[in-house]
Amino acid sequence: MCGISGIYNPANPTIQPADIRNMLMQIQYRGPDESGIYIGRGIGMGSVRLSIIDLAQGQQPMSDEDGELWIIYNGEIFNFIELRDELKDLGYQFRTGSDTEVLLMLFKHYREKCLEKFNGQFAFAIWDSRRQELFIARDRVGIRPLYYYNSGGTFVFASEIKCIMESGIVKPELDPDTLNQVFTFWTIPSPGTLFKGIYELPPGQYMVVGKGSSEIRSYWDLQFSAHADSHEANSLQDSIEEFESLITDSVRLRLRSDVQVAAYLSGGIDSSATTSFIKNVEPGVLNTFSIGFDQEEFDETPYQQSVSSWLDTSHSSIVCKSQDIASNFAKVLWHTEIPILRTGAVPMFLLSKLVHDHGIKVVITGEGADEFLGGYNIFKEALIREFWSRQPDSRIRPLLLQKLYPYLAQFQGRNSNLLKFFFKYRLRDTDSPVYSHLIRWNNSKHIREHFSDGLLETPRIDPIDAFLDTLPSDFNNLDLLSRAQWLESKLFLSGYLLSSQGDRMSMAHSVEGRYPFLDHRVIEFCTKLPENHKIKGLNEKYLLKQMMKGRLPDQVVNRPKQAYRAPVATSLTSSNAPEYIRDIMSPGQIKRHGIFKTETVEKLLGKMGDGKTVTENENMAVAGILSTQILSDLFISGNNPYKETEMRIKCPVQYDKT
């Protein structure tokens, strides 16, 4: 795993190596083992490398034998051995054992069609010196990040936004439109970012940049079957057998490494299942890692220990305390580069440090199972609401919703009337293509009431209306569950889960995450499953649970879904929070940054201080406002203690010889 960056400007034949080095300096944690730069006519590219495959070779930037193609690459092509054999049959010879060289030779032979052959997670750039053309691409579901700036004949790209800022070409400026989106969707729909003029290359797409031209094209897209129930003829047992074969092979491929591979154990069925399959494929010693909490409502330690004991893993864990959330919050935001409405990124940041401290570079995790096997409560919530909508005056049907959120005190006991009021929002709008997410988006929109009067002073299109215009033309042909899964996967998976809690938190400590459930073959299989193989009644991930019976402790297989959560108000608004956290939310700082209203923020913080019951919306408001304030301070005001000033890795420069 690595970090990459580059500048392409055909009008400037001599890109300076120092500019590329300065960009790489800010992300050297992504690749602390090696670094290198290539300089050609109008192009400069560099990488920092975390050595995992072919430790002795595989240095980047790498060229073909003729020196015409140059690659920098962040990721892993897990089926590179099979692809190398295919290329050998075509007459290609190899100088290294790295997947980097396989990728480069596949591009040389197939050009953009090579992307269809990869089973992996990647973001890469290839410079064609003969065509004077830059090719960049990103993996199917956006596991690895890739950002760019394209204006005035200059194209800048990098693994992280902070590199682009460091190029000296881009002036950081917050984008009110995308900030508006964050406080609606919890993330920014691709290709937007928090900063004006900077974009991400969307998952499953590639871009070709030449002199005076650029074009983005898609090579893969998420597609659910419009007639999933037609697969009902496949028995559950048939589906289990096919799924088991796919996930076993996915795990087998993701165990390919020249360094030790470990696993995360969250205590849920997803990470427990992947750990079980790892032990089946490679029965030897397996290191597993977990994080617990000192507050019982968030802690899953007993389940983690149960699975570790059952599977006989070498287990390590840490306990995250409320003060840990507050003391690490600002540094986590330096890595996320986007406001976050929850604090779950911080424990993942601490967990990756634990892995790093044990000398391990690679972990396998369970992300993706919830999205594609129907695990999230928002899916069941949509199905219950649709069921309730058929008898909107029913007193019994809405009570099913209490089963989904036992950890939300405001919906329990005597507060059942509040539950009905809360979940009845647009109850009968079942024809809406985004019916499943209407409540979430409406609730998070309330946070926008804290925006300052000047922030959105010009008329702007509503984020939801704009997003509706981007939906596929046949989207309404999908069933309710498939639409909900598509929305969650397209918006939340890459835009939050795989970035703010995945790549950014693991790579902050030089750890690569691998995700067996996000193998594209697994995804394509799951999108064709009938609904009752995913959710049966209110039993989520039914297929996975049936498959894992007897292979994991019953208390793990049969436990209800528990959302991964971390403390918010009790940590971020505590008097024990660091002085910086308290100061950045002070009236003076709120006014100085000009993003939020001082009076509404003061009122919100006052409620926290009074010890009153705090709703999830209010928790999200605190996290969102605080994280936006910090990002503005770090990137716009330049008050940044995390910015690197020294390159700690040797960074040799190769010059084009053609």
pLDDT digits (tens, 9 = 90+) for 49-89: 999 998 888 899 999 999 999 999 999 999 999 999 999 99
Does the pLDDT at position 457 exceed 90? no
pLDDT at 302: 95
What is the side-by-side strand order in the sheet with 147-151? Answer: 198-200, 147-151, 154-158, 2-8, 43-49, 34-40, 653-655
Catalytic annotation on 526? no
Query: Cα-flanking dihedrals φ and ψ of residue 413, to 5°?
Result: 55, -125
Where do the domains of the chain lie? 2-221, 228-373+492-557, 377-442+472-487
Phi-psi region of 541 (alpha: psi -120 to 50; beta: other; left: phi over 0): left
Distances (CA, A) of 363 to 4, 288, 290, 513, 516: 21, 9, 12, 5, 11
pLDDT at 230: 45
Q: For residues 268-292, give the mean pLDDT.
A: 97
d(CA 658, CA 143): 35
Q: For residues 380-401, give the mean pLDDT.
A: 92
pLDDT at 402: 81
Who's near 396: CB < 8 A, 6+ residues apart? none
The owner of tokens 């009905």 is 420
pLDDT at 611: 67
For domain 228-373+492-557, give the fold. Rossmann fold (3.40.50)
Helices 80-89 and 99-110 cross at an angle (nearest 10°) of: 50
Q: For residues 543-550, give the mean pLDDT.
A: 98
pLDDT digits (tens, 9 = 90+) for 120-167: 999 999 999 999 999 999 999 999 999 999 999 999 999 999 999 999
Closest CA to 22 of 656, 506, 643: 643
Contact 556, 272 (CB under 8 A): yes
Band of residue 1 on the pLDDT scale cut at 50, 70, 90: low
**Burial tier of 24 (Cβ tally within 10 Å: 0-12, 13-18, 19+):** buried
pLDDT digits (tens, 9 = 90+) for 500-519: 999 999 999 999 999 999 99
Q: Count of CB atoms within 10 A of residue 454's CB?
A: 10
The owner of tokens 């935001």 is 333
pLDDT at 227: 60
Closest CA to 268 of 237, 299, 233, 231: 299
Band of residue 608 on the pLDDT scale cut at 50, 70, 90: confident
pLDDT digits (tens, 9 = 90+) for 177-205: 999 999 999 999 999 999 999 999 999 99
Band of residue 565 on the pLDDT scale cut at 50, 70, 90: confident
pLDDT digits (tens, 9 = 90+) for 221-278: 999 987 655 445 579 999 999 999 999 999 999 999 999 999 999 999 999 999 999 9
Q: For residues 292-311, give the mean pLDDT.
A: 94
Most confident of 349-363, 391-405, 438-452: 349-363
Does the pLDDT at position 358 exceed 50? yes
Q: What is the DSSP string of 190-237?
A: TT--SBTTEEEPPTTEEEEEETTEEEEEES------TTGGGGGGS-HH
Per cent of the chain over pLDDT 90 is: 83
Q: Count of CB atoms within 10 A of residue 409's CB?
A: 13
Closest CA to 349 of 494, 503, 496, 194: 503
Does the pLDDT at position 415 exceed 80? no
Per cent of the chain over pLDDT 70 is: 96
Number of alpha carbons in the 13 Å side-chain half-sphere of residue 631 = 25
Task: Please write down the HEC assignment for all residues of 98-124.
Answer: CHHHHHHHHHHHHHHHHHHHCCEEEEE
| Start-to-end C-alpha separation, the chain | 29
Q: Tokens for 632? A: 């503005």
Distances (CA, A) of 295 to 411, 568, 571, 602, 608: 20, 12, 11, 27, 18
Strand partners, 364: 263, 514
d(CA 654, CA 61): 8
Structural class in CATH, domain 2-221: alpha beta
> 2, 114, 163, 651: which one is catalytic?
2
pLDDT at 231: 46
Does the pLDDT at position 338 exceed 50? yes
3-state helix, strand, coil in the chain (%, to 5): 45, 15, 35
